[in-house]
Amino acid sequence: MKRTALASALAVASCFVTSTVADTLGLEVPYAASTPSIEATLGYPTGQKISSPEAIHDYFQELAKAHPDQVKLKYYGKTWEGRPLFFAIISSANNIANLDSFSEGMQQLADPRQTSAAEAEQLIQSMPASIWLSYGVHGNEISSPEAALLTAYHLLAAEDQATQTMLDNTMVFIDPLQNPDGRGRFVSRYYMTAGLEHSADRISAEHNEPWPSGRSNHYLFDMNRDWIALTQPEISGQVDALLDYYPLIFVDLHEMGGDTSYYFTPEARPYNPLITKTQREALWQIGENNAKWFDERGYQYFTREIFDAFYPGYGASWPLYHGSLAMTYEMASARGHKWRTKDGTILTYGDGVKRHFVASVATIESASQNRQQLFQNFWNYRSQAIRDGRGSDNRVRIIPGTDDAAAARKLAGLLVQHGVEVNQATESFKVCGNNYPAGSYIVDGAQPAQYMVRTLLDERIDMDQPFIDDQEERRANNLPDEIYDVTAWSLPLMFNVDIDACNSVPSVDKIAVDGRLIESGSVTNADAKLGYIVAWGDMNAGRFLTAALRAGLHVKQSDLAFKHVNGKTYPAGSLILTHAENESNLAAAVLELARESGAQVDGVDRSWVLEGPNFGSMNVNRVHAPNVAMAWDEPFSSLNAGHTRFVIEQQFNYPVTAIRTEQLARSNLSHYQVLILPALAGNFSHALGESGLANLKDWVQKGGVLITLGTATRWAVDNDLLASAREAAITDKEPGHGDENRVDGLLLETARDLAHYIQADEADPYWTAGILARGEVDQDHWLAAGVKPEVVSITVGNDIYRPLTIDNGRNIVNYAAADRVVASGYLWAENQQQLAHKPVLMWQPHGRGMLVSFTQEPTYRAYLDGMNLLLMNAIFGGSAHARPLR
């Protein structure tokens, strides 16, 4: 049986959504009955229900079963909650039969060092173009995964010539659901709140998600910012798969506010300077073709006004630096079955499905029609990358790892995960006048991933000057700037690890590095008579500490550096484990922990110390395994709560108990030694109430370690827990006319004078979208044990605090002087002046306990590895230094 329109293929008679899909598409397309329809498989027509993650998986399995010669399902991992992550490859039977040689062909084309121009030409002539469509990275942006089902159905069932041509010319990769956990959370909550009729009212429970929304994944990450650090399996798995196939076009399909229309490429300013003119022209072409399809159907859209591609950590940015095209598409969200827009019309879920479907097919058509050009551009990009790298003054990057072995290994492994070739020297060498030890990592820029290398490693990537000039002009006119996300993300800065650049390639024996982020550690003098020392100062030692505590070992930590009789000097914070204080199996336990954590452990036969405290000194404290709690739920920022829990649980390997605000206010917290308050998104004082505040203060007095992050530090100041104050903007402005209604005459000579006059008398400092800032560390305090003299912190927003006076506490980390404070990114001149020497991290004792306050979020996006040691010291050092009545 043949059907003649999408409507009959998909819908029962009364289905408004699917009939309009067909009507609006205006395609007289015959559909094969042998392809399982969405309705037959899932029990409802497309757009009539928000499909669960399980239903989406079921449907793709059905398609694969029905079309084994045209569909391949590939699994790239599991979510934190155990849901499968997969994509489908759909093409003609002939292309799918040649999938392996296609992947090989793309690998060849991706590496012009291994492939001649003639071989490339041969590949370009013969291979299908590839397009990768990724749907639903934000779990509450619901229509795009449904459009993925429809796109797959259409490609497999449509029997018209146009679709057959597309399938002959293209390999279509469909990742229908990048964030199954978030969507699962949304769908379950949405149907729980629905009643007899679905509500279109924006104030209805259906349209207002409780904390945390379905946007994020299990650890509450916005995964559309994670394409730099690759911390989440949903993104790192996808990156692995992308590197297998190098799709020429990548589209990330989202939703935005319900009162908008549809957004597609070209993107907004500022452009990342590493995106080429050719790429931007090709993106423009795709936008124009999408517009043709949208015009034919009367769909509204806009381009260029928002959604820039400057920050490379978006899904729609990452593939650009490998030479592909990448774009974001955004549809107005019904955020449920229907939504009444500001102008009174009803936007339906199906409207979103249709538009994302049309945009998907339009883009496949672009890939099909521009096949050769896309290949040629990809080949040229990667050839150019090699040439640029070879000719660069910074051709070779060297990560010696002598300052932080754990961070160096993680950086090298992460680069490999990004598709960068990294080698490790197996002997010492000298290049550009410097000596490097064996084990140093080497990245040669003469490789096709050189633009990815630059994106991730360059200290600065600048926005173009005309864009910056426009932003300064807007500020002068009391308008907000148009910077969409952070302006700095350099991995070596964020990891706070030394990296050198050199223009010549060292001649040294080396081996290729793999993508592991942790190198196994080892123990010297494993049968030591007295015990073991672990030098503090990197995450290898950090992971050793948490693992030792969880294993129930007796661990001591020295507040001061010491020189052991073995000749080595150990920094403050170094760990000491002795046989006398541990069970008999210590040696075996330490060996295992070293292997897993990456720590280098020194066995010692004697305790004798030449300089600094002995092991039995008052300056050597036992570290008890603290019970760590963190605030959870409103009014805290779900992002920061998630990032923080992730860093402690998955990077420190230490469990955290999440406690909702209401319980914090009224429960006995004496079971916990540490409580972390993540950044706030609302009013905690209100949520806590007076008795709740008293409860927390009492807990601190009795020995609790209270750690505030980012905007939670405002709450600590407002409630007299932290003797600092938040600053207003510095201004030379005369007070305005106040509430006087008759005042002296005033001359405003220029429009600028007027703009100056109308400013508020007292205002916050100007908002900063995000820079990396240098902080200077007070290394004499235990909170800074093992920390380098300088750290790099993110600085977002406009919180600037006064330093603590010496009678109240210590300022452990302060911003550097004005001329040095910006490590990377763009910062307004007056903020730069005002930030100088102001606190980043403060410590204030209270009774038997203490407050530790970070003025910014050290766990931001879980990519500021250089801040991790300070947070570890706050948690473990803090609980070791508090004096609770045990």
Residues at the contact surface with Zn ion, assessed by CB under 5 A: 138, 141, 254
Q: Given the DSSP bridges, would you call strands 338-340 and 346-348 parallel, antiparallel or unpaired?
A: antiparallel
Cα–Cα distance measured from residue 186 to residue 571, given in angstroms and rounded to the nearest whole number: 48
Enter the tokens of residue 292.
């043709």
End-to-end CA distance of the chain: 78
Write down how long the chain is.
886
| Of 254 and 543, CB closest to Zn ion | 254
| Of 324 and 333, CB closest to Zn ion | 333
Tokens 């883009």, residue located? 363
Which residue's CB atom is positioned nearest to Zn ion?
A: 254
Cα–Cα distance measured from residue 733 to residue 731, given in angstroms and rounded to the nearest whole number: 5
Rounded least distance, CB 302 to Zn ion, Å:
16
Cα–Cα distance measured from residue 597 to residue 366, given in angstroms and rounded to the nearest whole number: 49
| Of 87 and 307, CB closest to Zn ion | 307
| Of 141 and 206, CB closest to Zn ion | 141
Rounded least distance, CB 306 to Zn ion, Å:
12
CB neighbourhood size of 58 (10 A): 14
Rounded least distance, CB 347 to Zn ion, Å:
17
Using alpha carbons, select from 709, 597, 577 the residue that is nearest to residue 653: 597
Rounded least distance, CB 184 to Zn ion, Å:
17
Rounded least distance, CB 49 to Zn ion, Å:
21
Q: Phi and psi (nearest 5°) for 557?
A: -130, 135
| Of 79 and 673, CB closest to Zn ion | 79
Alpha helices (H) along 647-743? 661-666, 684-701, 712-718
Cα–Cα distance measured from residue 514 to residue 414, given in angstroms and rounded to the nearest whole number: 9
Cα–Cα distance measured from residue 708 to residue 812, given in angstroms and rounded to the nearest whole number: 14
| Of 329 and 615, CB closest to Zn ion | 329
Using alpha carbons, select from 578, 133, 564, 523 the residue that is nearest to residue 357: 133
Rounded least distance, CB 485 to Zn ion, Å:
13
| Of 138 and 397, CB closest to Zn ion | 138
Cα–Cα distance measured from residue 82 to residue 545, given in angstroms and rounded to the nearest whole number: 29
Rounded least distance, CB 257 to Zn ion, Å:
11
Enter the tokens of residue 284.
């423009």
| Of 254 and 340, CB closest to Zn ion | 254
Rounded least distance, CB 121 to Zn ion, Å:
39
Cα–Cα distance measured from residue 81 to residue 739, given in angstroms and rounded to the nearest whole number: 58
Cα–Cα distance measured from residue 76 to residue 98, given in angstroms and rounded to the nearest whole number: 21
| Of 138 and 207, CB closest to Zn ion | 138
Residues 6+ apart with CB under 8 A from 402: 437, 498
Rounded least distance, CB 354 to Zn ion, Å:
18
| Strands of the sheet with 575-578, listed across from one edge | 522-524, 600-604, 531-534, 575-578, 555-558, 620-623
Rounded least distance, CB 358 to Zn ion, Å:
19
Rounded least distance, CB 861 to Zn ion, Å:
16
| Of 254 and 697, CB closest to Zn ion | 254
Enter the tokens of residue 713.
């530090």
| Of 57 and 138, CB closest to Zn ion | 138
Q: Phi and psi (nearest 5°) for 644?
A: -70, -45
CA distances from 637 to 190, 680, 733, 769 (A): 21, 5, 34, 17
Q: Phi and psi (nearest 5°) for 776?
A: -100, 135
Q: Phi and psi (nearest 5°) for 319?
A: -65, -20
